[in-house]
Structure 1
């Protein structure tokens, strides 16, 4: 697994080299940047801005290193790097993940709340992503588990998850399988790498044990 939480494979197979580490990896684990007409560096979270792209691993330390002259070396010209560039990348990534979860919710492919999420997990719903707030109760979060083949992310705050579900705050959420779930996995993996919060492939048996105890 590459830094940024991404596997070494991707659906389209497109790979790029990180301008800092020199590591070649799927584009899904990298942040794209372009140089604007004003000579400044801009993050291209959606990958649609015109111009030659420069790719950096979705890791805060690597992104900070890129600010120290690597963008200029890669672009072969003097460029200006805005103050707070890394924080802006994090903000845009978080907003992207929130928007994708909101799209899944509107499509009926996402639920929130402990009981609803537990119902999906226990009822055989094909869950692609289990989401739990980074600032939620550890005890409460331990009562849920990540199904085999699904992904766990704890890189969003309760307020950010709340925005995705149209509420003030949310601690537990889940997305079903499908295209939107896969897109959330890609973007949340980058956000987790940037925030230094690892996503768990599978939870331990604690959640299942807790659920079994509640049923008895």
Structure 2
């Protein structure tokens, strides 16, 4: 069976893939041994005290090791002590490392949502969101994962009735998370207008969602 290019196995001494005259940077996951693009992975470096530290922006100095951006793979790396092998030395690894990565990803997305709010791109509350949908101003419909199903279904129905097929629905954050990010109380529904900040938020939200999904439920997100 042919493996997809984003998860193919290559010999240890393989060179970077080349497209035209430009080398395509790839990294090997220390858990699966698959080779992927850095955008599909999480980089880890060692702090001065030899503790394993996530480097989501891929900017920290020093040698890094890489893991495919899935929670269960980070947990496996911790459980099997693969970081010591990857760094070729004794390291300190927090038992909750996967939780820390998930929080960093969520914080990144919610931080961008906060910026979008300051830029005037966000409407909150059922009626205001319904109005934004009806007027065609909604690029992203945000609904709290712990919000009442009835309200969530009503807005999803209004969106479907509008005929818009280009609006994404994000339901991966709690009401508390949305409220803190937007500086408002009891946020269950929110609408984001089209903007580069909205696109950046979507990219970060997809990355967080993909990381937290259980094994076997990643295929739908890989092409986002």
TM-score, reference length from structure 2: 0.73
Q: Which residue of 1 aligns with 2:65?
A: 54
Instruction: Find out whether 1:94 has 2:111 as its counterpart.
Output: no
Q: Secondary structure at the match of 2:154?
A: coil
Contact 2:138/2:191, CA 8 A, preserved across alignment: no
CA distance in 1, matches of 2:191, 2:41: 25
The Cα of 1:26 is off from its aligned counterpart by 4.0
CA distance in 1, matches of 2:170, 2:207: 11
Q: Which residue of 2 aligns with 1:112?
A: 124
Q: Which residue of 2 aligns with 1:21?
A: 32
User: How large is the Cα RMSD of the aligned pairs?
Assistant: 2.8
Q: Which residue of 2 aligns with 1:135?
A: 146
Given the superposition, is the C-alpha separation of residues 98 and 118 from structure 1 closer, same or farther in structure 2, using an over 3 Å criterion?
Answer: same
Q: Which residue of 2 aligns with 1:125?
A: 137
CA distance in 2, matches of 1:157, 1:51: 36
Higher Rg: 2
Instruction: Find out whether 1:45 has 2:39 as its counterpart.
Output: no
TM-score, reference length from structure 1: 0.76
Q: Which residue of 2 aligns with 1:65?
A: 76
Number of aligned positions between the proteins: 191
45, 53, 57: which one pairs with 1:34? Answer: 45
Q: Secondary structure at the match of 2:155?
A: coil
| Structure 2: runs of 5 or more not aligned | 8-23
Of 149-158 and 26-35, more deviation after overlay is shown by: 26-35
Q: Which residue of 2 aligns with 1:164?
A: 181
Q: Which residue of 1 aligns with 2:95?
A: 83
Contact 1:60/1:86, CA 8 A, preserved across alignment: yes
| Structure 1: runs of 5 or more not aligned | 4-12, 202-216
CA distance in 2, matches of 1:50, 1:74: 16
Instruction: Find out whether 1:152 has 2:158 as its counterpart.
Output: no
Contact 2:123/2:192, CA 8 A, preserved across alignment: yes
The Cα of 1:141 is off from its aligned counterpart by 0.7
Given the superposition, is the C-alpha separation of residues 54 and 135 from structure 1 closer, same or farther in structure 2, using an over 3 Å criterion?
Answer: same
Deviations 1:155-187, CA, capped at 9 Å, x for gaps: 111000001111123111222223212221222
